[in-house]
Amino acid sequence: MLAEDADSIIEKAEPGDVEEIARLFKRSRRAKLPYLPELHSEAEDIAFFGEHVLPSCQVRVLRQSGTSKMLGFIAFDANMVHHLYLEPDCTGRGLGARLLELAKADSERLDLYCFQANENAISFYRKHGFREIERGDGRDNEEGVPDLLMRWRRPVQV
Protein backbone atom coordinates (compact mmCIF):
# COMPACT_ATOMS: atom_id res chain seq x y z
CA MET A 1 0.00 0.00 0.00
CA LEU A 2 1.34 3.42 -0.98
CA ALA A 3 -1.17 5.84 0.50
CA GLU A 4 -4.36 5.65 2.49
CA ASP A 5 -7.05 7.95 3.77
CA ALA A 6 -10.34 7.20 5.51
CA ASP A 7 -12.12 6.32 2.28
CA SER A 8 -9.52 4.97 -0.14
CA ILE A 9 -6.10 3.40 -0.59
CA ILE A 10 -3.57 3.66 -3.42
CA GLU A 11 -1.65 0.56 -4.41
CA LYS A 12 0.75 -0.51 -7.13
CA ALA A 13 -1.17 -2.13 -9.96
CA GLU A 14 -0.59 -5.84 -10.41
CA PRO A 15 -1.13 -7.99 -13.53
CA GLY A 16 -4.42 -9.19 -12.03
CA ASP A 17 -5.72 -5.59 -12.14
CA VAL A 18 -5.42 -5.21 -15.92
CA GLU A 19 -8.98 -6.25 -16.83
CA GLU A 20 -10.49 -3.94 -14.23
CA ILE A 21 -8.23 -1.07 -15.34
CA ALA A 22 -9.27 -1.56 -18.98
CA ARG A 23 -12.96 -1.66 -18.07
CA LEU A 24 -12.72 1.44 -15.88
CA PHE A 25 -10.87 3.20 -18.74
CA LYS A 26 -13.72 2.37 -21.14
CA ARG A 27 -16.49 3.34 -18.68
CA SER A 28 -14.86 6.66 -17.91
CA ARG A 29 -14.28 7.53 -21.57
CA ARG A 30 -17.86 6.60 -22.52
CA ALA A 31 -19.32 8.71 -19.70
CA LYS A 32 -17.01 11.73 -19.78
CA LEU A 33 -15.75 11.79 -23.38
CA PRO A 34 -18.76 10.70 -25.48
CA TYR A 35 -17.42 12.52 -28.55
CA LEU A 36 -14.49 10.10 -28.84
CA PRO A 37 -14.74 7.23 -31.30
CA GLU A 38 -14.54 3.75 -29.79
CA LEU A 39 -11.57 2.32 -31.62
CA HIS A 40 -10.88 -0.89 -29.71
CA SER A 41 -12.72 -3.86 -28.29
CA GLU A 42 -12.57 -4.71 -24.60
CA ALA A 43 -10.10 -7.50 -25.40
CA GLU A 44 -7.86 -5.06 -27.27
CA ASP A 45 -7.98 -2.60 -24.35
CA ILE A 46 -7.06 -5.37 -21.92
CA ALA A 47 -4.16 -6.43 -24.14
CA PHE A 48 -2.98 -2.81 -24.47
CA PHE A 49 -2.90 -2.22 -20.73
CA GLY A 50 -1.41 -5.62 -19.99
CA GLU A 51 1.22 -5.70 -22.72
CA HIS A 52 2.16 -2.03 -23.04
CA VAL A 53 1.05 0.18 -20.15
CA LEU A 54 1.74 -2.03 -17.13
CA PRO A 55 5.24 -3.06 -18.29
CA SER A 56 6.34 0.45 -19.31
CA CYS A 57 4.73 2.76 -16.74
CA GLN A 58 4.28 3.12 -13.04
CA VAL A 59 0.61 2.25 -12.60
CA ARG A 60 -1.23 2.95 -9.37
CA VAL A 61 -4.80 2.02 -8.56
CA LEU A 62 -7.08 3.77 -6.12
CA ARG A 63 -9.47 1.48 -4.26
CA GLN A 64 -12.31 2.09 -1.89
CA SER A 65 -11.13 1.28 1.64
CA GLY A 66 -12.35 -2.02 2.97
CA THR A 67 -13.25 -3.34 -0.49
CA SER A 68 -11.48 -4.26 -3.68
CA LYS A 69 -13.56 -1.76 -5.72
CA MET A 70 -11.29 0.23 -8.01
CA LEU A 71 -12.18 3.93 -8.11
CA GLY A 72 -9.44 5.12 -10.45
CA PHE A 73 -5.93 4.67 -11.75
CA ILE A 74 -2.94 6.59 -13.03
CA ALA A 75 -0.16 5.45 -15.39
CA PHE A 76 2.96 7.60 -15.56
CA ASP A 77 6.70 7.59 -16.08
CA ALA A 78 9.44 10.07 -15.16
CA ASN A 79 8.12 12.90 -17.33
CA MET A 80 4.69 11.94 -18.65
CA VAL A 81 1.24 11.17 -17.31
CA HIS A 82 -0.10 8.67 -19.83
CA HIS A 83 -3.48 7.90 -18.22
CA LEU A 84 -5.51 9.27 -15.32
CA TYR A 85 -9.06 7.96 -15.12
CA LEU A 86 -11.69 7.75 -12.39
CA GLU A 87 -15.02 6.02 -12.19
CA PRO A 88 -17.50 8.54 -13.64
CA ASP A 89 -19.26 9.07 -10.29
CA CYS A 90 -15.98 9.66 -8.43
CA THR A 91 -14.90 12.98 -9.93
CA GLY A 92 -14.80 16.16 -7.85
CA ARG A 93 -13.83 14.37 -4.62
CA GLY A 94 -10.06 14.94 -4.66
CA LEU A 95 -9.28 11.40 -5.81
CA GLY A 96 -7.68 12.45 -9.08
CA ALA A 97 -5.56 14.97 -7.20
CA ARG A 98 -4.26 12.21 -4.93
CA LEU A 99 -3.23 10.13 -7.92
CA LEU A 100 -1.66 13.10 -9.68
CA GLU A 101 0.39 13.98 -6.60
CA LEU A 102 2.02 10.54 -6.78
CA ALA A 103 3.27 11.28 -10.28
CA LYS A 104 4.47 14.76 -9.29
CA ALA A 105 6.29 13.55 -6.17
CA ASP A 106 9.46 12.34 -7.89
CA SER A 107 9.44 14.47 -11.01
CA GLU A 108 10.79 17.88 -11.89
CA ARG A 109 8.51 18.10 -14.93
CA LEU A 110 5.44 16.26 -16.17
CA ASP A 111 3.75 16.46 -19.54
CA LEU A 112 0.35 15.11 -20.52
CA TYR A 113 -2.10 15.26 -23.36
CA CYS A 114 -5.81 15.82 -23.03
CA PHE A 115 -8.49 16.52 -25.59
CA GLN A 116 -9.32 20.17 -26.22
CA ALA A 117 -13.02 19.41 -25.76
CA ASN A 118 -12.38 17.95 -22.29
CA GLU A 119 -12.88 21.21 -20.40
CA ASN A 120 -13.20 19.49 -17.02
CA ALA A 121 -9.78 17.83 -17.40
CA ILE A 122 -8.17 21.04 -18.61
CA SER A 123 -9.57 22.92 -15.62
CA PHE A 124 -8.42 20.15 -13.25
CA TYR A 125 -4.88 20.15 -14.61
CA ARG A 126 -4.65 23.96 -14.56
CA LYS A 127 -5.75 23.91 -10.94
CA HIS A 128 -2.84 21.55 -10.26
CA GLY A 129 -0.22 23.74 -11.91
CA PHE A 130 -0.22 22.50 -15.51
CA ARG A 131 0.04 25.03 -18.33
CA GLU A 132 -0.82 24.76 -22.00
CA ILE A 133 2.24 24.15 -24.18
CA GLU A 134 0.85 23.24 -27.59
CA ARG A 135 -2.42 22.57 -29.38
CA GLY A 136 -2.75 19.70 -31.81
CA ASP A 137 -5.28 19.20 -34.57
CA GLY A 138 -5.78 15.48 -33.90
CA ARG A 139 -3.39 14.20 -36.58
CA ASP A 140 -1.02 12.86 -33.93
CA ASN A 141 -3.49 10.89 -31.83
CA GLU A 142 -5.31 7.69 -32.61
CA GLU A 143 -8.75 9.23 -32.10
CA GLY A 144 -8.17 12.04 -34.62
CA VAL A 145 -9.53 14.57 -32.10
CA PRO A 146 -7.83 17.93 -31.37
CA ASP A 147 -5.65 17.68 -28.28
CA LEU A 148 -3.62 19.81 -25.93
CA LEU A 149 -0.14 19.26 -24.54
CA MET A 150 0.11 20.50 -20.96
CA ARG A 151 3.16 20.72 -18.70
CA TRP A 152 3.83 21.02 -14.99
CA ARG A 153 7.21 22.05 -13.58
CA ARG A 154 8.25 21.75 -9.97
CA PRO A 155 8.60 25.26 -8.54
CA VAL A 156 12.19 26.34 -8.04
CA GLN A 157 13.19 26.44 -4.38
CA VAL A 158 15.22 29.52 -3.42
Determine, yes or no, domain membership for 35.
yes
Eight-state DSSP code of residue 89: G
Give domain status of residue 92, yes or no: yes
Residue 6: the pLDDT is: 59
Give the CATH number of the domain where residue 100 resides: 3.40.630.30
Please list the residues that pair with 134 across neighbouring strands.
149
| 46 occurs within a structural domain | yes
Domain-embedded: residue 146 = yes
Average pLDDT, the chain: 94
- pLDDT single digits (tens) 100-135: 999 999 899 999 999 999 999 999 999 999 999 999
Count of domains observed in the chain? 1
- The bridge status of strand 131-136 relative to strand 147-153 is antiparallel
Residue 137 within any structural domain of the chain? yes
Q: pLDDT: is 158 or 65 the higher one?
A: 65
Domain that holds residue 40: 3-153
Residues 6+ apart with CB under 8 A from 124: 96, 97
Establish if 158 belongs to a structural domain.
no
Q: Does 157 score more than 80 pLDDT?
A: no
Would 43 be classed as within a structural domain? yes
The answer to whether 65 touches 9, Cβ cutoff 8 Å, is yes
Using CA atoms, how far residue 115 sits from 91, 139, 148, in Å, is 17, 12, 6
For residue 142, give the nearest of 111, 110, 115, 120 by alpha carbon. 115
Span 6-45, pLDDT tens digits: 589 999 999 999 999 999 999 999 999 999 999 999 999 9
On the question of pLDDT at 46 being above 90, the answer is yes
Q: What is the 3-state secondary structure (H, E, C) of 92-130?
A: CCCHHHHHHHHHHHCCCEEEEEEECCCHHHHHHHHHCCC
Q: Tell me, what amino acid is at 120?
A: N
